[in-house]
Structure 1
Amino acid sequence: MGSKVTIIGRNKQYIPEEEPEISMLAKRDMSGFMDIITGHEVEEVQTTADGKKKVIARGEAEKVEFIVDEILVASGRGPNHDILHPEKGGINTDARGWIVVNEFLETTRPGVWAFGDANGKYLFKHVANYESRVVFYNAIMKQKIKIDYHAVPYAVFSYPEIARVGMVEKEAIEKYGQANTLIGFHKYEDTAKGNAMDVKDYFVKIILEKNTKQILGAHIIGPYASILIQEIVNLMYTNEENPEPVIRGMHIHPALSEVVQKAFYSLMPPEHYHHILGHMGLESITPG
């Protein structure tokens, strides 16, 4: 909107929940539109003589100061049990204040159910929509449907857009071992549509278990990432959870969805993948 924006994050990684290479690429591209300072903790805010605000933040080796008009503090979200008072109904909350539910989303008070942000599981509207269906079948239809969170997707609606579902690479290697982990990778620019869009370095990354080809997670950075990842999410809700339907399915050419299919064609060991990242200038950690 024409404002000069500075972002300060205490974590060294710009978007700590994402893969390091995704975070690096996002920071690199977004730095063209704003100043991004990571690894710094805001220690103090002072008021200047002309009514502006002086922000003082310290990192491991340096202190930064700058003058701003307004400050937005993004401190996360928390429960509003102080408004709901669930304890009056005999409904337990956990140490953080979220309402405790079982695998059927029933609270500690029989016949009372909690879903969406109230139970603190995943604070996304699409998760609440899914949970509401589970509650309907259990509370109204008297069924016993268990909640399933094995493939919860989400997106960061930034520029570039980011989308994720399932495990990150580090989690997969810790659980299955590096020798049993495969990475599927393809860049937007190496498809006809991506080339026509003139986008650089955006990519699809898919993590699979080597023997069964089970999809463990997927990460996309680039235009329409939140749409493209749905093809992978749907695979993760099949019985086999493998890429065969996408590999065999005919994809429209030239359409951006080809980048997802071609990522499944390009499976490699993690060390090969990190070699590619090194050439892209996105390698910051030792794989595994």
Structure 2
Amino acid sequence: REIVDTFRGGNEQRLEDTENLDLVRGEARFTGQKELEVRLDGGEMARISAENVFINVGARPGGVPVDGLDDVPTLDSTTIMELDEVPERLLVLGGGYVGLEFAQMFRRFGSEVAVVQRGSQLLAREDTDIAEAVAEILREDGVEVLLGTEAQSVQQDESGGIELTVNGPNGERALSGSHLLVAAGRPPNTDTLNLEAAGVETDGRGFVEVNERLETSAPGVYALGDVKGGPAFTHVSYNDYQVIEANLLNAGDATIDGRLVPYTVFMDPQLGRVGLGEAEAREQGRDFRVASMPMVHVARALEMDESRGMMKAVVDAGTGEILGCAILGIEGGEIMAMIQIAMMGKLPYTALRDGVFAHPTLAESLNSLFATVDV
């Protein structure tokens, strides 16, 4: 909490100290294309207009359609960080990165943990073999993982416990818990903005639609960060800012077309991912080859006593360029970033296969990984 407050306070102070910048605190809504009405924190109303307007209101933890959910206490990705106790048994709705990070974290704190995932695998965007390896690691850590399982109803018993009824491959079942974490999606904070007045179009879920320069359907109105949909990561939001800065302040021609969007699931060991997976490459009709090996073949991983997971990469069969990778293993995010740099430089996979890396480091695993490409 202290770290968050420090970061937030520092950013606010920099805003307040910026020349020719007014920090207005309140809730805004559009009254025209580039006109806003703001209810200030003190209750007064203010009107603001500008040549350019930037929508950067983010998203919030969402709910799921489960009978009784509104009548029981729940946690989300924000409130679970404020817990001052370790749950005796934590039930997690959702098998995405938020749910999995907290599931493993609280299991290691000492909680019993069960993850309920409606889909057939965890981390729906990942290849099946990667998702299965993630599930195996969580189960080894003592997390109960229920796949193909849908929450039906929930209620609170007389002692304050949570009773969750689910339906899965083996039929209906009751799960008991002390706490319930809902980690199933994040809707955008657009419902009170009156975007229609500005001529700003949204998709069916309320996310603002933008072009490759982040401009909305209303000229001069832009959207950045989670509110425009797509991967909801801090580094994506920062790159959105870089695109806006380049184009509006420096007369550049930056776009978000074709940008690589890396991410890391901060479980232990980490899952680092960038670019295309095998299934996505197949869906796109690409001619590709796959490199894959278990982390148990990585000497440094063995030395550090964490050899769970696997490494996987997809390469273009014609050019040899790396199309994407998923690194599930110790410091997986860092190894992924090394491959991402190679992708940014359009290096062929052979440059990493034949490169000289210090021994014994995790980097030298790239020699072995790309040696598995079936040519």
Q: TM-score range by the shorter chain?
A: 0.7 to 0.9
What percent of counterpart residues are identical?
30
**Does the 8 Å contact 1:207/1:217 carry over to 2?**
yes
Structure-to-structure mapping, 1:75-90, within 5 angstroms: 75-90=184-199
Give the equivalent residue in structure 2 for 1:251: 357
Runs of 4+ in 1 over 6 A off after TM superposition: none
User: Is it true that 1:266 corresponds to 2:375 in the alignment?
Assistant: no
Q: Post-superposition shift, 1:17?
A: 1.7
Question: Which of residues 173, 184, 207 is equivalent to 2:291?
Answer: 184
- Aligned pair count reads 266
Q: Post-superposition shift, 1:248?
A: 4.5
Q: Aligned letter for 1:110?
A: P
C-alpha distance in structure 1 between counterparts of 2:176 and 2:127, whole Å: 32
Q: Post-superposition shift, 1:51?
A: 2.7
TM-score calculated relative to the size of structure 1: 0.85
- Sort the Cα spacing of 1:4 and 1:60 in 2 relative to 1 into closer, same or farther, 3 A: closer
C-alpha distance in structure 2 between counterparts of 1:175 and 1:118, whole Å: 27
**Does the 8 Å contact 2:152/2:166 carry over to 1?**
yes
Give the equivalent residue in structure 2 for 1:33: 142
User: Is it true that 1:16 corresponds to 2:124 in the alignment?
Assistant: yes
Which ranges in structure 1 are unaligned for 5 or more consecutive residues?
270-288
Superimposed CA distance per residue, residues 119-158 of structure 1 (whole angstroms, 9 cap, x where no aligned partner): 1132111111111111101122232222234421111111
RMSD over aligned Cα, in angstroms?
2.0
Q: Post-superposition shift, 1:50?
A: 2.5
Larger Rg: 2
**Does the 8 Å contact 2:307/2:330 carry over to 1?**
no
Superimposed CA distance per residue, residues 198-248 of structure 1 (whole angstroms, 9 cap, x where no aligned partner): 33342211111212112121111011111110011112212x352244334
**Does the 8 Å contact 1:8/1:40 carry over to 2?**
yes
**Does the 8 Å contact 2:122/2:135 carry over to 1?**
yes
C-alpha distance in structure 2 between counterparts of 1:7 and 1:121, whole Å: 24
C-alpha distance in structure 2 between counterparts of 1:201 and 1:162, whole Å: 11
C-alpha distance in structure 2 between counterparts of 1:161 and 1:18, whole Å: 14
**Does the 8 Å contact 2:294/2:309 carry over to 1?**
yes
Q: Aligned letter for 2:305?
A: D
Give the equivalent residue in structure 2 for 1:117: 226
Give the equivalent residue in structure 1 for 2:172: 63
- Sort the Cα spacing of 1:174 and 1:17 in 2 relative to 1 into closer, same or farther, 3 A: closer
Give the equivalent residue in structure 2 for 1:277: none
C-alpha distance in structure 1 between counterparts of 2:209 and 2:255, whole Å: 15
Partner secondary structure for residue 229 of structure 1: helix
Q: Post-superposition shift, 1:76?
A: 0.6
Q: Aligned letter for 2:372?
A: S
Which ranges in structure 2 are unaligned for 5 or more consecutive residues?
1-108
Structure-to-structure mapping, 1:187-226, within 5 angstroms: 187-226=294-333
